[in-house]
Structure 1
Amino acid sequence: MKKASILLIFFILIVSCKQNKKEKGQIVSEKIEFTEIVKEDYELYKPNKEIKGVLILFGGYPESADDIKREFQILDIARENSIAVLLSNFNQKLWLKENEKHQLAKKLQDIVVENELPTENIFVGGFSSGGVVSLLISDFIIGMKQFYIDPKGVFIVDSPIDLIALYKSSEKNIERNFSKPSIQESTWLLENLGKNFGNPKDNIEKYEKNAVFTYRTNNISNLKKLKRTKIRLYTEPDTLWWKENRMADYEQMNAFYIKKLSESLAQKGFEGVEYIPTTDKGFRANGEI
């Protein structure tokens, strides 16, 4: 999955949670010290003094906290702006079961409480499949009264939000037989989606129940609690790269469904949604596309 520049993404937190904005050109002379807390399932970097906000990040399908830290070098920016950053090791999820939502929400709240983090400016974001987790868990937290860590904003970066689209695209990729990585990923997706939900032409309700968005039926039932939450949808619709490397059409790309989701949310009265397509930002830390 191609990824966007973290500097652009982090702008959501800097802009949204600062109530007293600094004048342009103002220099912060005091160096803000961070405490680093490394646990089995997360890493936390928090200012030693005032904490103005909390940013919770979920990585892509195989990514751990270390991977997020390497690919998205935001800790210096967070330090300068007194932002605590929680890097989660929770990954390898394209959907969340109900018990997983309960467990993850409780875990996040426990981390906030144990580390005395503020709850009024929490932002959640994720890259690729981590964006799916971010949206689903944020909707769940806001909808459950026992949790008091409601996110103020959520963002995703090039996330596979439509499970039916993944299934149908995988069928096309295998039939096309063009790219070995694409065939391997598509075979895995068909096996796992089929095992859990069956074929979408026979079991569309199961896909709607678990997906962030189902374009075919315009279903956003797993996002309803986010109607008053700021949402940013980042994607890089690099159609040329996908055509050359995967022979994929625009309608097979995450970018297509992310744009359609933004349109659907706007039609349904979600006022805080921003769709942000990027250009030439989709590079890894080592320079690879």
Structure 2
Amino acid sequence: MRKIGLLFILISFSTGISAQLIREIKLNYSSSNDHYFVVEPKGNIQGALVLLPGSYQEAESIFPETKLHNVAYLHNLLVVAFTCGKTKAYIDDQTLENIDTVLDHVIKTFHVPKDKFAIGGYSAGGVIALTYAEHCKQYPHKAVINPQAVFTADSPVDLVDVWYTFNREVEKNFSEAAMNEAKAFLKTMKEDLNGTPHTNLENYIKHSPFYSKADDGGNAKYLLQTAVRLYHDPDILWQLKNRRRSLFDMNILCASAMVNYLLLQGNEKAELMIADRPGTRSDGFRHPHSWSIIEEVDCILWIKKSLGIE
């Protein structure tokens, strides 16, 4: 059993209603998950919301980009944020162990029941959130938590499709930012997943939240009883102009297929959420791939309903 110590770093910020604290909790061992951040609610903790950042991002990058933690504070939800390995867009054994360790510590420290958790993430963080929720449902006897709700902010859900999408980005050679991301992830995926979908399709399906060509949806079949929301800003005109992407290159295509699969299997709690406002980064830059596509109040109320909290 790892020995865990605590180091608290307090960062205050104003919501216009009351001051809140983002606490960094340092875990006393060497790992990519050697710390996590929490925002404790205004009243007694009734549940927990786990937030995961995108690739190459620190956990603290979440807080300027969304007000989910502000709204959760007012609704008695503990917010937990941590990084799952900066280059990860899927869960391997080490990442799974790291997530389990953090959440086990959260339960013991803040006394949150294991069935009062929701988990969500942005971009690659959303892939990990979905995959982790699926893992918990597939192996309930050894799962640290029993998440009742899972959501994503413009995340890809089919790793096989991601492989081909990234290859098209490289071939187009239009957006330097998109092309650099594609090259980096193609290299990482080939190394981590031991090949390509051509040479090791089974491993891609194993690590993917959803596989659109499988009758059983791949790992999505483990979410048939779970509340699922996949948030997207389907601004095709922005994508055509700024990235030269068609609908076939956008994350929403496979997301809609995943939600449709869940609905067909009887999960009426599965939803494709279309942004009610244009995605915008905290610096004011317009981008559909943003945390801000999630309407925070509605999302928190959905989480409370999913957790059975009044």
SS at match of 1:126: strand
Quick one: distance in 2 between partners of 1:250 and 1:132?
20
**1:133-183 CA-partner distances (Å, limit 9, x unpaired):** 111111222323133521111111110211111211122222222221222
> Which residue in 2 is equivalent to 1:95?
90
Mapping of residues 66-85 of structure 1, within 5 Å? 66-85=60-79
- Specify every segment of 5 or more residues in structure 2 that has no aligned partner in the other structure, as ranges: 1-16, 27-34, 287-310
> Which residue in 2 is equivalent to 1:53?
47
Quick one: distance in 2 between partners of 1:205 and 1:237?
30
Match status 1:165 vs 2:161: yes
| Count of residues in Structure 1 that have an aligned counterpart in Structure 2 | 259
> Which residue in 2 is equivalent to 1:180?
176
Quick one: distance in 1 between partners of 2:75 and 2:233?
27
Change (3 A) 1:200 1:36: closer
SS at match of 1:57: strand
Quick one: distance in 2 between partners of 1:109 and 1:147?
10
> Which residue in 2 is equivalent to 1:139?
134
Percent identical residues? 25
- Contact between 1:32 and 1:47, CA under 8 Å: does it hold in 2? no
Quick one: distance in 2 between partners of 1:150 and 1:102?
16
SS at match of 2:196: coil
> Which residue in 1 is equivalent to 2:59?
65
> Which residue in 1 is equivalent to 2:24?
38
Quick one: distance in 1 between partners of 2:68 and 2:207?
31
Match of 1:211 among 177, 185, 208: 208
Match status 1:262 vs 2:256: no
SS at match of 2:79: strand
Quick one: distance in 2 between partners of 1:269 and 1:177?
42
Match of 2:106 among 108, 111, 126: 111
TM-score by length of 1: 0.82
- Contact between 1:44 and 1:85, CA under 8 Å: does it hold in 2? yes
Shift of 1:68: 0.5
Match of 2:241 among 222, 240, 244: 244
Quick one: distance in 1 between partners of 2:179 and 2:115?
45
Quick one: distance in 2 between partners of 1:150 and 1:72?
25
Quick one: distance in 1 between partners of 2:236 and 2:66?
24
CA RMSD across the alignment? 2.2
Over 4 Å off, 4+ runs: 31-36
Quick one: distance in 2 between partners of 1:133 and 1:199?
20
Q: Which amino acid aligns with 1:131?
A: G
> Which residue in 2 is equivalent to 1:226?
223
SS at match of 1:47: coil
- Contact between 2:84 and 2:95, CA under 8 Å: does it hold in 1? no
SS at match of 2:120: strand
SS at match of 2:49: strand
Match status 1:278 vs 2:278: no
SS at match of 1:90: coil
> Which residue in 1 is equivalent to 2:298?
none
- Greater RCO between the two (CA within 8 Å, min separation 6)? 1
